[in-house]
Amino acid sequence: MKEYGPESLRNIALIGHGGTGKTSLSELFLFTAGESNRIGSIAEGNTISDYSANEIERQFSISLSLMHLDWKNTKINILDTPGYSDFIGEVKAGLKVCDTAVLVLKAVEGVEVGSEAAAHFVTEYEIPSAIIINKCDNEHSRFEEIVAQAKERITDGAVVVTFPAKQGLGFSSVVDVVKMKMFTYGEVGSKKVTEEEIPEALKAKAEQLRTELIEKVAELSEELMNKYFEAGTLSDADLEVGIKTSIVKRNLTPVFAASAAKGVGVNNFLDFVEKFFPNPADRGDFEVKLKDKNEKVFLRVDPKGEPVMFIFKIVSEPHVGELSLFKVYSGKVNAGLDLINEANGKGERLSQLSVLNGRTRKEVTYLGAGDIGAVVKLKDSHSSNTLSSKNLPAIIDPIIFPEAIIRGAIIPKAKGEEDKIATCLHSLHEEDPSFNVKYDPEIAQTVISGQGELHLNLAVKRLKERYGVDVDLVEPRIPYRETIRGRVDDVEYKHKKQSGGRGQYGHVHFKMEPMPRGAGFEFVNAIVGGVIPGRFIPAVEKGIIETMEKGVISGNKVVDVRVTLHFGSFHDVDSDEMSFKIAGSMCFRKGFTESKPVLLEPIYELEVKMPEECMGNVMGDISSRRGKILGMESDGHFQIIKANVPLSELYKYSSTLRSLTAGRGNHRRKFSYYEDVPKEIENKIVEDYKKSKLEG
C-alpha cells in the first residue's frame, strides 16, 4: 500500500447546478489517471460515482460519492456532489471535509441558481475554491462572458488559468497561462496530449491573462507587490508560491476551460491540482472543542498526533453494505483501533478500512491525517460524530444541514407495519440527515420532511425497494388551533346517572374567558364553602385538559382559555373523580360553543429568492395563496420576497416555485404565528369534521 502524508493529499469537492457535468468530469479524471480503464456514460448508466439504481434510472446524482486517484504521486480524493437542490444536504456534507471546492459551470448557461447556492456554502465554510467552465465544445460556448459573470456573481478572485484556443464544436486545445504553452488533446479516450508553443494569434491574449494572474497574486503581500512594480512581473518561483498561497487565503479562484464530452483540459487541471491546490495541512490548524470543557483548541494535521476522525456520511446500499465515510483530521487510524465517540461516550472499534471509487471498495490497513476513506458501519456512530482517542476528547463542529422546505405524511398501506416503517425511516435519515421524520401527536401522523418533492418521493421509493414497505405520501393535516373570542359568566353541567346500585353524580358551574395569544390554559379554583370537595377538583381540571387536547369544533387543540370553577354540588354516595371528570369535560364543551369559538391557523414566514424577471409571477402566486407580502430586496441579479403565508397553502410549494422560475428560484420558510382562519374556510373545516364524526 502506498503511503500518503498530508503534503501528498488533495481533497476536492465537485459542486454546482444540476447538469453541469460534474459526474462526467470525475469519470475523465479517473480514466486519465489510470484508476479506471473506460470512461463511463450517464446515458448508459455505467459511471463510477452514479451507481445506485435510482441514479441510473433518473440520470443524475442523488448522493455524494467518494472517489480517489493518484496523479504524480499525489492522492486526489474526489467528492462528486449532486446538483439538484433537493439533495443540498449531500453538498454540505462534501464541503465539510474537502480542502478545495471546484464549482463547475456550463459554458453557455453560466452561473445558475444552484451555482450561487453552492458558492454561498463555500463562503460559509471559508473553503479555497476553483472554477471549471465545462462544455466549451458547445457551439454556443461563451467562455469569456462566463468568466466575467463568475467574477461578478461568484467571486472577484476568479482568474483564468486555461482558456480555449478555439471554443465551440472545434474545441480541442487549451492555452495554459501558468505554463505558457498550448495543449492539444487527441480523441476522447486516447489520453494523447500534445504540448506546443502558443500560436501568434493567441499570444497577446495569453500574455494579458498571465498579467491578470500575476497582478492578483501580487495583491497577496507588500513584498510581492514591490517585486512586481520593480520588475513588471514576478519570477516563476514567486509566482508558484504566490498562486498556492493566494488559493489557500481565498484571494484567488483559478478558472479552467474543459469539455467532459471531448476529454479536453483534464490533464492541465490535474497538474494544477497536484502543484497548487492546498493539502490538508496548508489550511492551517483546525479548531475543535474539548468534551466536557468550555474551551476550544487548535490541532495540527499531523500523522503523529492523537487520532481524530469525523464521520460525514453514512452509505447503505445492497451491494455496498453499511459504511461510514470519514476524514482523518489528526493522527493515523487503522483496523482494530479503539476510539471513543465523543457524542455519546461509547467506544468503537474500527474494523475493515477501505478507500472507495463509487461502489468499489479497496481495503487498506490504515489512513493518515488529511485522508478520506470508509469503515464498515460502526455500532453507535452517526453522521457528524467525532471519534477520537481517550487522550484527546476532541469534538469537531457538526454539519449544519438546511431546514426542511416540504412536508408529507406517511400512511401505511398495510396495517401493523408502523414499527417497521419507523425503523426504516430512521435508517433513511441516517444516510441523509437533511431528510427528517417525526411522529406528530397533535395531528396523529408520521411526517417526513426534506428539500423538495423529489426528495420525499425518493424516500418513499426506497422504503418499497429496499425494505418492502408500501406507503402513501399524502398532505399532512394542518395543526389548527381552537380558541374563543367571547366569554360566559356562568355555564352549568350536571352529570347524573342512576342504573341500579351506586350511581354517578358530578355538578359544576364554570366561568370561561379568552386569554392573550400564546398564554395557554389557566384553571382557577374559586370554590368556597366546600360545595365541591377538594379531592374532586383535580378531576374537573383533568376533564377540561383532555377535552382541550381533542378539540371541540374541529378536532384540534384548544388554546388560550381561562376556566374558573366557581360553584357546583356533590352527592355523598354517588360522587367520585370520574363523575366530576365527565362533568368538567361536558361543561367545557358546552361553554366553549357559547363563547364565540374560532379556528386559528399556522402562518409561516416565506422567503423566496428568484431572478428579477420572475418576480411578477411569484408575487401573483403568493397572493393567490392568501399570502401577505412583507417586503422585497435585491441580492445581485436576484430578488428576495418576504411574505406571510398560511401553512395550508404551502403544500408542494417548492415544485410550483421551480415551475414559475424555470428551476432558478428557491425558498425558505419558518413558523411565525397563528391567526384566525377566514370564516368561509373555517365553516368548511368544521363541516368536514362533523361529517367525518358521523361517518366514523
> How many H helices and E strands in the chain?
16, 37
Tell me the residue type at 406.
I
Q: Region 352-377: what's the mean pLDDT? A: 94
**Paired residues of 194 in beta bridges:** 184
**pLDDT digit string (tens) for 308-364?**
999 999 998 766 668 999 999 999 999 999 999 998 999 999 999 999 999 899 999
Domains in the chain: boundaries? 6-276, 286-395, 406-474, 482-595, 599-680
406-474: CATH number: 3.30.70.870
pLDDT score, position 320:
61
Separation CA 370–CA 12 (nearest Å): 12
Q: What is the pLDDT of residues 214-261, one digit of tens each?
A: 999 999 888 888 888 888 888 889 999 999 999 999 999 999 999 999
CB of 191 within 8 A of CB of 36? no
Instruction: Name the nearest CA neighbour of 238 among 213, 205, 258.
Output: 213
Q: What letter represents residue 394's amino acid?
A: A
Q: Which three cell numbers stand for residue 88?
A: 443540498
- The answer to whether the 6-276 and 406-474 domains have the same CATH topology is no
C-alpha cell at 151: 467574477
What's the whole-number average pLDDT of the chain? 93
Average pLDDT of the residues in 575-597: 97
Classify the C-alpha dihedral 450-454-459-460 as positive or negative. positive
- What confidence score (pLDDT) does residue 694 get? 82
The cell for 273 is 491540482
The rounded distance, in Å, linking the Cα atoms of 13 and 118 is: 11
Q: How confident is the model at residue 2 (pLDDT cuts 50, 70, 90)?
A: confident
pLDDT band at 279 (very low <50, low <70, confident <90, very high): very high
Q: Into which CATH architecture does domain 599-680 fall?
A: 2-Layer Sandwich (3.30)
State the pLDDT at residue 418. Answer: 84
Whether residue 436 contacts residue 450, with contact meaning beta carbons closer than 8 Å, is answered with yes
Q: For residues 593-607, b (16+ Cβ closer than 10 Å) or e, as one string? A: eebebbbbbbbbebe
Beta-strand ranges (E) seen in 570-624 are 597-611
Position 23 scores a pLDDT of: 96
Q: Which residue in 312, 320, 434 sits closest to 11, CA to CA?
A: 312
Whether domain 286-395 has CATH 1.20.120.1690: no
CB count, 10 Å around CB of 487? 15
Distance CA 690, CA 696 (A): 10
How far apart are the C-alpha atoms of 390 and 372, rounded to whole Å? 22
Q: Which three cell numbers stand for residue 93?
A: 456534507
Strands 193-196, 504-514: pairing is: unpaired
Q: How does pLDDT run across 670-693, given as a tens digit for each residue?
A: 999 999 999 999 999 999 999 988
The residue among 116 and 632 whose pLDDT is bigger is 632
**Which pLDDT band, with edges at 50, 70 and 90, does 665 fall under?**
confident
CATH of domain 6-276: 3.40.50.300
Is 385's pLDDT higher than 90? yes
Instruction: Report how far residue 293's alpha carbon sits from residue 316's, in angstroms, rounded to the nearest whole number.
Output: 35
Helix (H) or strand (E) holding 418: helix 418-431
Q: What is the distance between the alpha carbons of residues 654 and 663, in angstroms, rounded to a whole number? A: 10
pLDDT digits (tens, 9 = 90+) for 183-217: 999 999 999 999 999 999 999 999 999 999 999 99
Identify the pLDDT of residue 53.
81
In three state form, how does the secondary structure of 467-501 look? Answer: HCCCEEEECCCCCCEEEECCCEEEEEEEEEECCCC
Q: At what angle do helices 113-125 and 88-97 cross, to 10 degrees?
A: 40
Residue identified by cell 371541540 is 552
Q: Distance of CA 201 to CAs 110, 143, 164, Å?
A: 26, 17, 13
429: confidence class by pLDDT, cuts 50, 70, 90: very high
Do 497 and 504 form a contact (C-beta atoms < 8 A)?
yes
Residue among 507, 425, 74 at smallest CA distance from 277 = 74
Q: Which three cell numbers stand for residue 406?
A: 416540504
Q: Which CATH number fits domain 482-595: 3.40.720.10, 3.30.230.10, 3.80.10.10, 1.10.1200.10?
A: 3.30.230.10
Q: At what angle do helices 266-276 and 22-32 cross, to 10 degrees?
A: 80
CA separation for the pair 654, 652 (Å, rounded): 5
Beta bridge partners of 425: none
Q: Name the band, by pLDDT with cuts 50, 70 and 90, for residue 696.
A: low
Residue listed under C-alpha cell 490535474 = 270
Would you state the pLDDT for residue 1? 65
- Give residue 175's pLDDT band: very low, low, confident or very high (50, 70, 90): very high
- What's the grid cell of residue 252? 484567488
Upper half-sphere CA count for residue 632 (Cβ side, 13 Å): 12
CA 73 to chain centre: 35
Out of 113-127, 288-302, 401-415, 614-628, give the one with best mean pLDDT: 614-628
Percent of the chain scored above 90 by pLDDT?
Answer: 79
Residue 306, CA atoms < 13 Å, CB-side half-sphere = 16
pLDDT in tens, 480-506: 999 999 999 999 999 999 876 789 999
CA distances from 415 to 425, 462, 466, 554 (A): 17, 19, 19, 26
Q: Cα–Cα distance between 24 and 109 in angstroms, integer?
A: 18
Phi, psi of 360 (to 5 degrees): -80, 125
More confident residue, 635 or 312: 312
Neighbours of 6 (CB within 10 A): 20
